Amino acid sequence: MQARVSAYYALMDGRRSLRHFSDKAVARNLIEKIVMTASTAPSGAHKQPWTFCVVGNPKIKKAIRQAAEQEEYENYHGRMSDDWLKDLEPFDTDWHKPFLETAPWLIIPFKKSYDVDEKGNHSKNYYVNESVGLACGFLLTAIHNAGLVALTHTPSPMRFLQDILQRPDNERPFLVIPVGYPADGVEVPVLERKKLADVAKFF
């Protein structure tokens, strides 16, 4: 158990978010297994209130990029506070989001506030944000374990994703996660994670 825990921590401690992707293809069956791993996450009353929209079509990715950049331009030119913009400086990011087209896949989790059966009847889902958040954590872990890289992208507002992907009224976009291989020679900022004493209290 000690060996397994240590090895898994070492694996996950090497995970980094990435903004520069290669366009190298990633096999669809890998992505399918990654999504199914995410779907093993716990959920309120086992409702599994998520839909993972997986986009590989270049035309759809381009439409998503165009809409996302329009929202991000507004964010970087008025919506974001000065403190927020300053905190983003080490990551060398701005409103341009080329990774939305370059990455071979975009995984877009949608949260379902309620389910609708074939007769149109509604049934409530519980702890939806918490459940979908857990599934996204499982998703990122599975992506890293596969030897791929990802980014948790949160253009806001995200209503355009519902329109482009023609999702029903009971679904709302939660994240945009580009997935693929890192670009050649890509570097990430040197970041220090908090120590155990800073993130945990034992009683």
Pick 188 or 170 by higher pLDDT. Answer: 170
Say yes or no to pLDDT of 56 above 90. yes
* 157 cis-preceded (ω within 30 degrees of 0): yes
Q: What is the pLDDT of residues 84-108, one digit of tens each?
A: 888 888 777 888 899 999 999 999 9
DSSP three-state, residue 17? strand
Report d(CA 126, CA 49) in Å as an integer. Answer: 8
- Measured between alpha carbons, how far is 83 from 106 in angstroms, rounded to an integer? 29
pLDDT(172) > 80: yes
What dihedral do alpha carbons 125, 130, 135, 137 form, nearest 10°?
A: 170
Distance CA 135, CA 38 (A): 5
Count Cα neighbours of 74 within 13 Å in the Cβ-side half-sphere.
9
Cα-based distances in Å from 27 to 118, 141, 154, 194: 33, 18, 25, 35
**Which among 187, 175, 25, 30 has a CA at the least distance from the CA of 109?**
175
pLDDT value for 190: 84
| Distances in whole angstroms, Cα of residue 68 to Cα of each of 2, 64, 71, 95, 109 | 44, 6, 5, 9, 16
CA distance 120 to 12: 42
Give residue-wise pLDDT tens across range 137-161: 999 999 999 999 999 998 888 999 9
Q: How many DSSP H helices and E strands does the chain contain?
A: 8, 7
Q: What is the pLDDT of residue 84?
A: 85
